[in-house]
A and B are shown apart, each in its own frame.
Chain A
Amino acid sequence: MKQLDRSWLTMMVVMTLTATAVQLRGHLPDLVPDWLWVLLLLLAAFLKGRLVLLDFLELRATKIWRSAIIASFAAIMSLFLGLAVVPEFQS
């Protein structure tokens, strides 16, 4: 199995786990604290996005660009995380 196939499979597994967790949370809303839930959702998105960048957009073989682009992507996700967790502490 090639790296591309492994990445696609990993992304599908992460997506399925996320969908299952969303279903579970619908029935058991107090299973995990809201801030942790937000963190897990964005972490799953980061994992998928990172694999899209590395293997679909072929950044894995590069050195400087890979680090710079993944760091920029992580910065965007951190901004989202910051904006998303604030209401959880407000309520």
Chain B
Amino acid sequence: MMVAHPRQNMADRLPGNPLIWILIASELLVFGIALAGFLAARMIEPQLFAKGAQKLHAFSGAFNMAVLLTSGWAAAVAQEHSRTGNEMWTRLWLGVVAALGCAFLFIKGQEYADLIKQGLDTDSGTFYMMYYLITGFHVAHVVFGVVVLGLASIVPKPAFVEPPVAFWHMVDLVWVLVFPVVYLLPLP
């Protein structure tokens, strides 16, 4: 009698490399703690946080959400092409993802520049210190994601494409949490 090995049951396996899931879990934990800290600090100074959030560009944040969600979709499409062995389309879609990542960085850069022009930097109180810390850490992940997606396009095979694509989805997921918590919840 043949007994199916538990690893053969695809429904019980995590998709992709387990190491990337460890990375995703640890990153979500770090951002989760940072955002919980942000909300805890807001409990102490709700007025200060409300005033701070009013100066942020909520529209830019929402637009960046659309950019990242679309880039996540494009990354999933690139992954599908890599699995069917279509190298040209994989490269093309990875290029779309990287371009959308750069668009995110450009919009974020504009927002930072505007805030700094108004004299609002990391020394402008708890709200701005935490805002720059959380969003800056996320920006660093976006930059890293764009670089690794670029590297993946050199060898567009599933083994090289899937880890950076999963990392990109994690970056996407983090912004889904950062945007409402930092930009919208503190608003009066």
Where the two chains meet, the residues of A that have a C-beta atom closer than 8 Å to any C-beta of B are: 4-5, 8, 11-12, 15, 18-19, 22, 25, 29, 38, 41-42, 44-45, 48-49, 52-53, 55-59, 61-65, 76, 79-80, 83-84, 86-87, 90-91
Contacts and interface: CB of A to CB of B under 8 A. Distances in A.
Contacts of A56: 72-73, 75-76, 169, 172
Contact of B36 (A4, A63, A79, A86): A79
A40 to B, nearest CB: 10
A64 B10 contact: no
Nearest to B24: A57
Given A45-B176, A61-B11, A90 B76 contact: no
A48 B12 contact: no
A56 B54 CA distance: 32
* Dominant SS among interface residues on chain B: helix
B15 A58 contact: yes
Tell which of B24, B32, B180 has the most Cβ of chain A within 10 Å: B180
Nearest to B185: A84
Contacts of B130: none
B184 interface: yes
Given A52-B72, A84-B39, A41 B184 contact: yes
Given A8-B73, A48-B176, A83-B36, A91 B46 contact: yes
Contacts of B46: 87, 90-91
Interface in B54-84: 58-59, 62, 65-66, 69-70, 72-73, 75-77
Interface of B: 10-16, 24, 28, 32, 35-36, 39-40, 42-43, 46, 58-59, 62, 65-66, 69-70, 72-73, 75-77, 166, 169-170, 172-173, 176-177, 179-181, 184-185, 187-188
Given A48-B176, A87-B46, 8 more contacts: A12-B66, A15-B62, A18-B180, A57-B166, A58-B16, A59-B14, A80-B35, A83-B39
A65 B6 CA distance: 14
Given A56-B169, A90-B46, A44 B180 contact: yes
Nearest to A38: B185
A19 B36 contact: no
Tell which of B12, B36, B66, B184 has the most Cβ of chain A within 10 Å: B184
B70 A29 contact: no
Nearest to A58: B15
Given A15-B69, A61-B15, A52 B176 contact: yes
